[in-house]
Chains A and B, each alone.
Chain A
């Protein structure tokens, strides 16, 4: 103890204290640096912070102060009218401003791929303003000017094939503006069933890329981009209650039904007598779809069926699908709906193929199988492709001729010319297929050329079955090659693997006048090949020629064959002949025999045949980009067609302006994105990888430690200098 006490007084103790002091200094420097670092990190983290939990409301609006406010969900009223294959859908949405400042609301409206949007109505109180169609830039300018002038305005523009954006400017505090959009679409027909899908949410978030590059490249200067924002994503990521819709559908199928119902919602049905859309009185409530998605089997004949969802309002987290199955006749049914505007008649011709039982076998066939064995087909894909091809070979019959072409970087033919199907050739082909291995590049062009240039055998129907994952580059030139060299052959594409290039497959089949089949897994091979061979063996109707009046403009211009379970829908326009009724005669071959049918055009109960024709024309013109139509010409034709038919297109928008000013120049306007409800039961990615290295952290720590060392060095130098003096 004494020694310790003396230590305090000794000069050595002072040094010890000095050393202690140094250490404290180093620790303080380190501490300060760490504190600085922690502050920086916290700041970065704060930038990403969102309000914790807002509970019930769906929409999150950011107020000027940066805080988040909630608003009422969007109210949607959906009315669907179906006549035959034509449907007119009316989407009325109430944009309500519950805040205390003027707002501009932006909503992404999902619509069907083939929707022809031709009407916009803006209702403010009692006043209804009808939207006008303008070229897109002009429409955006009109909207921008009205917005700046404080007038209520609304703009609808197409952002991709199936996504439209609605913007509503200058909604006063406490006010509601109703925006009504009307569009036409056609019912789909597949495997004997008509269905109509009305999207309520962005289920297919990524639509077909048909927005012309010329437009997408020039960012809109006036219109808010409907790109999801950080706030929007935060709102969407949180499971908020959905927007709700009222759904009401009126169906006039125009034919006796096997059944009708909804695949998506529980519905109730009311049967109505009387031909008119208005004035018909409910005859009887005929059934309740009490199941999750109710259907009505063999409904009593009626002119109109009225469908309502059992729940008065349904969440907008899934699409509404209405389906009906007609009783199928023994010969292809044919129907022509017309609409005459001024001196032009527009017609929609629909040919339904017969039921399978009534089909006769096709004549002798020559099938050329093209199989992709390139490196991209490695793994399960080549296994599936080989299984599919082996299955196909087993379905050939005596009298058929066939050949197999395998390609990767080069094309290899099994035989120089197609051979008759015999047990020997069958065995040889199977051995050829068994030996295939996936490697090398994908040179599709050579294989297509080889398949199309095989010497033709007279009286044989040539069918090319193309099995690939479609991992190709120069698609445009391939389509051109198919279109030019197809002749009388038909090209059927079979997509292999979980994610084939279905754009290429669909378009190649379209140019090849065949169909596209997708085989997603090995388990599906037999089922899908059976379906494909049903189409190959039983072309319901081929060599279709339609006798239209003169000067017809037809879409699609090349009439495809009618395959089992797939309808043919043609849209035509021609000069009106009011004095005589329209008679359309279609000729073709059904089951190897000449087929002919004449149908009288019937005035469509729903207006809009012209709009549907124009929509098909626009689609065809945009498609023609792959065959080399110049961009300027595409734009000009699309703009002219869309303006004439009052249609929203990639180049045209609908705009409505209420001339009465709503907002004084002094009042501020806020922009709000209204987020769509997340689709139900969607597939999601489980986890995202950690995507940052500790590099920055290590560099920070390194710098801090060096700083501390430097300060210590400085500190140790000072006393030495003092001692020297």
Chain B
């Protein structure tokens, strides 16, 4: 008979009918249940939020192993057996503790694991513009502290290490700005989302680091 009231409150619908005679207990349980649900939801969200960078970190370890195999001469060393991508280069940023292994193909899934090379752009180290994209909050978060004149290095599968010097730092609107892909020297362009501290995804601003091969 009290159901019309409780029916208005979603959580109480789940209460067993037998408890109606003990309202206080029931109320406390309801509260506990709500708190429990909220805690569970919060923990789940946090876990998911922390899992993404952890996955990015973990993938780098697997990729580093694949890289060693690539450097040993395996042409297309898959980081894990079912992967359909392979490391193409290793990128060292001035503030990065370890070199980042770069995967071929800038798909959303590859980007979760590693910075990725846009396969339409020039091959790493070749003449032309090599575009490498990375997530601003994981692999490429250190781009924020790059300065013009900083040195990046790109290690290729054949073991050669090419040095690049940061020539420009730009913020562009990806909806309107355009990126040149032709050059008669080797240029590396690192792209990540901007602003670095934004919370939402899907913005059109990109932070573009242009680095020129240094001889």
Question: Could you tell me if A685 and B148 are in contact, using CB atoms closer than 8 angstroms?
Answer: no
Question: Could you tell me if B127 and A500 are in contact, using CB atoms closer than 8 angstroms?
Answer: yes
Tell me the minimal C-beta distance from B68 to chain A in angstroms: 14
Question: Could you tell me if A702 and B212 are in contact, using CB atoms closer than 8 angstroms?
Answer: no
- Would you call the interface of chain A mostly helix, strand, loop, or mixed? helix
From B160, B182, B186, B200, give the contact of A473 (CB < 8 A): B160
Question: Could you tell me if A709 and B1 are in contact, using CB atoms closer than 8 angstroms?
Answer: no
Residues on B with C-beta less than 8 A from A37 are 199
Judge if B19 is at the interface, Cβ distance under 8 Å.
no
Judge if B53 is at the interface, Cβ distance under 8 Å.
yes
B48, closest chain A residue (CB): A698
**Interface mask (B151-171 → A, CB under 8 Å = 1, otherwise 0):** 000001111111001011111
Query: Known contacts A441-B73, A691-B135, A705-B45; is A213 also within 8 Å of B108 by CB?
Result: no
Question: Could you tell me if A706 and B125 are in contact, using CB atoms closer than 8 angstroms?
Answer: no
User: A695 to B185, alpha carbons, bound, how many Å?
Assistant: 37
Query: Known contacts A682-B180, A702-B45; is A227 also within 8 Å of B201 by CB?
Result: no
Judge if A693 is at the interface, Cβ distance under 8 Å.
yes
Residues on B with C-beta less than 8 A from A206 are 167, 183-185, 187, 210, 212
User: A237 to B43, alpha carbons, bound, how many Å?
Assistant: 43
**Interface mask (A671-707 → B, CB under 8 Å = 1, otherwise 0):** 0000000000011110111111111111111111111
Question: Could you tell me if A469 and B126 are in contact, using CB atoms closer than 8 angstroms?
Answer: yes
Judge if A216 is at the interface, Cβ distance under 8 Å.
yes
Residues on A with C-beta less than 8 A from B45 are 698-699, 701-702, 705
**Interface mask (A34-51 → B, CB under 8 Å = 1, otherwise 0):** 000100110011011000
Residues on B with C-beta less than 8 A from A208 are 184-185
Judge if A378 is at the interface, Cβ distance under 8 Å.
yes
Residues on B with C-beta less than 8 A from A551 are none
Judge if A175 is at the interface, Cβ distance under 8 Å.
no
Question: Could you tell me if B5 and A699 are in contact, using CB atoms closer than 8 angstroms?
Answer: no
Question: Could you tell me if A684 and B181 are in contact, using CB atoms closer than 8 angstroms?
Answer: yes
User: A713 to B171, alpha carbons, bound, how many Å?
Assistant: 45
Judge if B67 is at the interface, Cβ distance under 8 Å.
no
Question: Could you tell me if B176 and A695 are in contact, using CB atoms closer than 8 angstroms?
Answer: no
From B112, B187, B197, give the contact of A44 (CB < 8 A): B197
**Interface mask (B135-157 → A, CB under 8 Å = 1, otherwise 0):** 11110100000001100000011
Judge if B35 is at the interface, Cβ distance under 8 Å.
yes
CB-contacts of A221-246 with B (<8 A): 225, 227-228, 230, 233-234, 236-238
User: A688 to B131, alpha carbons, bound, how many Å?
Assistant: 9
Question: Could you tell me if A685 and B181 are in contact, using CB atoms closer than 8 angstroms?
Answer: yes
Judge if A442 is at the interface, Cβ distance under 8 Å.
yes
Question: Could you tell me if B106 and A689 are in contact, using CB atoms closer than 8 angstroms?
Answer: yes
Give the interface residue-count category, chain B: 35 or more
User: A501 to B162, alpha carbons, bound, how many Å?
Assistant: 12
CB-contacts of A698-725 with B (<8 A): 698-709, 712-713, 716
Residues on B with C-beta less than 8 A from A475 are 215
User: A700 to B194, alpha carbons, bound, how many Å?
Assistant: 18
Question: Could you tell me if A697 and B46 are in contact, using CB atoms closer than 8 angstroms?
Answer: no
Residues on A with C-beta less than 8 A from B197 are 44
Give the contact stretch, choosing among B24-32, B58-66, B91-99: B24-32
Tell me the minimal C-beta distance from A4 to chain B in angstroms: 8
Query: Known contacts A378-B75, A693-B137; is A216 also within 8 Å of B149 by CB?
Result: yes
From A500, A692, A707, give the contact of B198 (CB < 8 A): A692
Question: Could you tell me if B205 and A708 are in contact, using CB atoms closer than 8 angstroms?
Answer: no
Judge if A484 is at the interface, Cβ distance under 8 Å.
no
Question: Could you tell me if A695 and B50 are in contact, using CB atoms closer than 8 angstroms?
Answer: yes
Question: Could you tell me if A7 and B2 are in contact, using CB atoms closer than 8 angstroms?
Answer: yes
Q: Taking each of B38, B73, B128, which has the highest tally of chain A beta carbons within 10 Å of its own beta carbon?
A: B38
Residues on A with C-beta less than 8 A from B177 are 233, 236-237
Residues on A with C-beta less than 8 A from B149 are 216-217, 219
Query: Known contacts A217-B149, A378-B75, A694-B52; is A706 also within 8 Å of B39 by CB?
Result: yes
Tell me the minimal C-beta distance from A255 to chain B in angstroms: 31
Residues on A with C-beta less than 8 A from B44 are 702
CB-contacts of A496-516 with B (<8 A): 497-503
User: A692 to B140, alpha carbons, bound, how many Å?
Assistant: 9
From B165, B179, B199, give the contact of A685 (CB < 8 A): B179
Judge if A122 is at the interface, Cβ distance under 8 Å.
no
Residues on B with C-beta less than 8 A from A209 are 185, 212-215
Tell me the minimal C-beta distance from A46 to chain B in angstroms: 10
A686, closest chain B residue (CB): B120
Question: Could you tell me if A708 and B38 are in contact, using CB atoms closer than 8 angstroms?
Answer: yes
Question: Could you tell me if A473 and B199 are in contact, using CB atoms closer than 8 angstroms?
Answer: no
Judge if A22 is at the interface, Cβ distance under 8 Å.
yes
Judge if B102 is at the interface, Cβ distance under 8 Å.
no
Judge if B202 is at the interface, Cβ distance under 8 Å.
yes
Residues on B with C-beta less than 8 A from A19 are 9, 27, 30-31
Judge if A375 is at the interface, Cβ distance under 8 Å.
yes
Tell me the minimal C-beta distance from A131 to chain B in angstroms: 26
From A44, A691, A694, give the contact of B133 (CB < 8 A): A691
Tell me the minimal C-beta distance from B123 to chain A in angstroms: 6
Residues on A with C-beta less than 8 A from B56 are 693
Tell me the minimal C-beta distance from A373 to chain B in angstroms: 12
Question: Could you tell me if B49 and A683 are in contact, using CB atoms closer than 8 angstroms?
Answer: no
**What total of chain A residues lie within 8 Å of the partner, measured CB to CB?**
93
User: A499 to B185, alpha carbons, bound, how many Å?
Assistant: 9
From B125, B162, B168, B194, give the contact of A48 (CB < 8 A): B194
Judge if B16 is at the interface, Cβ distance under 8 Å.
no
User: A233 to B208, alpha carbons, bound, how many Å?
Assistant: 11
A695, closest chain B residue (CB): B52
Query: Known contacts A471-B125, A696-B199; is A228 also within 8 Å of B35 by CB?
Result: no
CB-contacts of B77-130 with A (<8 A): 106-108, 111-112, 116, 118, 120-123, 125-128
Residues on A with C-beta less than 8 A from B187 are 206
From B160, B184, B200, give the contact of A204 (CB < 8 A): B184
Q: Taking each of B137, B148, B192, which has the highest tally of chain A beta carbons within 10 Å of its own beta carbon?
A: B137
Query: Known contacts A219-B148, A227-B148, A696-B199; is A702 also within 8 Å of B43 by CB?
Result: yes
B54, closest chain A residue (CB): A695
Judge if B13 is at the interface, Cβ distance under 8 Å.
no
User: A108 to B5, alpha carbons, bound, how many Å?
Assistant: 74
Judge if B195 is at the interface, Cβ distance under 8 Å.
yes
Residues on A with C-beta less than 8 A from B183 are 204-206
From A16, A375, A690, give the contact of B108 (CB < 8 A): A690
Judge if A425 is at the interface, Cβ distance under 8 Å.
no
Judge if A15 is at the interface, Cβ distance under 8 Å.
yes
Residues on B with C-beta less than 8 A from A690 are 108, 111, 193, 201-202
Question: Could you tell me if A233 and B49 are in contact, using CB atoms closer than 8 angstroms?
Answer: no
Question: Could you tell me if A688 and B179 are in contact, using CB atoms closer than 8 angstroms?
Answer: yes
Judge if A474 is at the interface, Cβ distance under 8 Å.
yes
Judge if A3 is at the interface, Cβ distance under 8 Å.
yes
Residues on B with C-beta less than 8 A from A692 are 135-137, 192-193, 198, 201-203
From A7, A684, A693, give the contact of B138 (CB < 8 A): A693
Judge if A603 is at the interface, Cβ distance under 8 Å.
no
CB-contacts of A505-529 with B (<8 A): none
B140, closest chain A residue (CB): A691
Residues on A with C-beta less than 8 A from B210 are 206
Residues on A with C-beta less than 8 A from B106 are 689
User: A503 to B212, alpha carbons, bound, how many Å?
Assistant: 13
Tell me the minimal C-beta distance from A319 to chain B in angstroms: 15
Residues on B with C-beta less than 8 A from A205 are 180, 183
Tell me the minimal C-beta distance from A432 to chain B in angstroms: 21
Question: Could you tell me if A716 and B31 are in contact, using CB atoms closer than 8 angstroms?
Answer: yes
| 22 sample A-B contacts, Cβ–Cβ < 8 Å, listed by A number | A4-B4, A7-B2, A12-B23, A15-B23, A45-B198, A48-B194, A206-B187, A228-B168, A237-B177, A441-B159, A501-B125, A503-B213, A682-B178, A684-B178, A684-B181, A688-B174, A689-B133, A691-B111, A691-B133, A691-B193, A696-B199, A709-B38
What 6 A-B pairs are tightest by C-beta distance, nearest first?
Answer: A473-B160, A702-B45, A698-B49, A699-B49, A702-B46, A706-B42
Known: A237-B173, A691-B206. 9 other contacts (CB 8 A): A206-B187, A501-B125, A502-B185, A684-B181, A689-B116, A697-B201, A699-B50, A705-B38, A706-B43
